[in-house]
Amino acid sequence: MKFARPFLSTFVNKVDAKGRVSVPARFRDILEAQGARALYARASTSGPAVVAGGLSWMEQLHAEVAAHDPSGEVHDDFAYALLGDTVELSLDGEGRVGFPEELMRHAGVEGLAAFVGMGAYFEIWEPRALEVRKAQARLATAERRGKLRLPPREGSR
**Residue window 44-83: x/- pattern of binding to a copy of itself, with contact defined by CB under 8 A:** -xx-----------xx--x-xxxx---x-xx-xxxxxxxx
Q: Taking CB under 8 A as the rule, does residue 108 contact a copy of itself?
A: no
Torsion of CA 21, 26, 32, 37, to 10 degrees: 10
Q: Distance between CA 6 and CA 85 in Å, rounded?
A: 24
CA distance 100 to 50: 11
Q: Do you know the residue count of the chain? A: 157
> Pick from DNA, a copy of itself, none: which does 87 bind, CB < 5 to 8 A by kind?
a copy of itself
| Coil, strand or helix at 111 | coil
32 contacts which partner out of a copy of itself, DNA, none, CB within 5 to 8 A by kind? none
Among 26, 37, 91, 129, binds a copy of itself (CB under 8 A): 26
Name the residues that contact DNA, by CB under 7 A: 11, 13-14, 16-25, 28-29, 90, 92-96, 98
**Per-residue CA distances from 52 to 40, 49, 87, 90, 141 (Å):** 5, 10, 9, 12, 24
Which residues make up the interface to a copy of itself (CB under 8 A)? 1, 3, 6-10, 26, 40, 45-46, 58-59, 62, 64-67, 71, 73-74, 76-88, 116-120, 133-134, 136-138, 140-142, 144, 150, 153-154, 156-157
